[in-house]
Amino acid sequence: MEYRQLGRTGLSVSEIGYGAWGIGGSMWIGADEDESVTALRRAIELGVNFVDTARGYGESERIVGSVLREHPDVLVATKVPPRNGVWPAQSGVDVSETFPGDHIRASLETSLAASGLEAFDVLQFHVWSDEWVGHGDWLETIAALKDEGKIRFFGVSINDYQPENALALVRSGAVDTVQVIYNAWHQQPEEKLLPACAEHGVGVIVRVALDEGGLTGRITSSTRFPDGDFRNTFFGGDRKAQVEQHVAALVNDLGISNDELADVALRYVLDDPAVSTVIAGMRTVRNVERNAATSDRGRLPAAQHEAVTRHRWERNFYEAP
Q: What is the CATH number of the domain that holds 103?
A: 3.20.20.100
> Looking at the domain assignment, is residue 194 inside a domain?
yes
Please check whether residue 20 lies inside any domain of the structure. yes
* Number of separate domains in the chain: 1
Per-position DSSP letters for 136-155, written without gaps between them:
SSHHHHHHHHHHTTSEEEEE
Asked if residue 72 belongs to a domain, the reply is: yes
Cross-strand pairs, 12: 5
Question: Is residue 315 a part of any domain in this protein?
Answer: no
Nearest by Cα to 115 from 55, 156, 155: 55
- pLDDT score at 174: 98
Instruction: Output the pTM of the full model.
Output: 0.98
Neighbours of 181 (CB within 10 A): 23
pLDDT of 27 > 90? The answer is no
Mean pLDDT of 10-23: 97
Instruction: Indicate whether 318 belongs to any domain.
Output: no
Q: Domain for residue 173, yes or no? A: yes
Q: Is residue 152 part of a domain?
A: yes
3-state class (DSSP) for residue 279: strand
Tell me the per-residue pLDDT of 129-183, one tens digit each, with 9 for 90 and over: 999 999 999 999 999 999 999 999 999 999 999 999 999 999 999 999 999 999 9
Provide the domain limits for residue 248. 3-309
**Nearest one of 274, 272, 270 to 296, comparing CA atoms:** 270
Decide if 57 is inside a domain.
yes
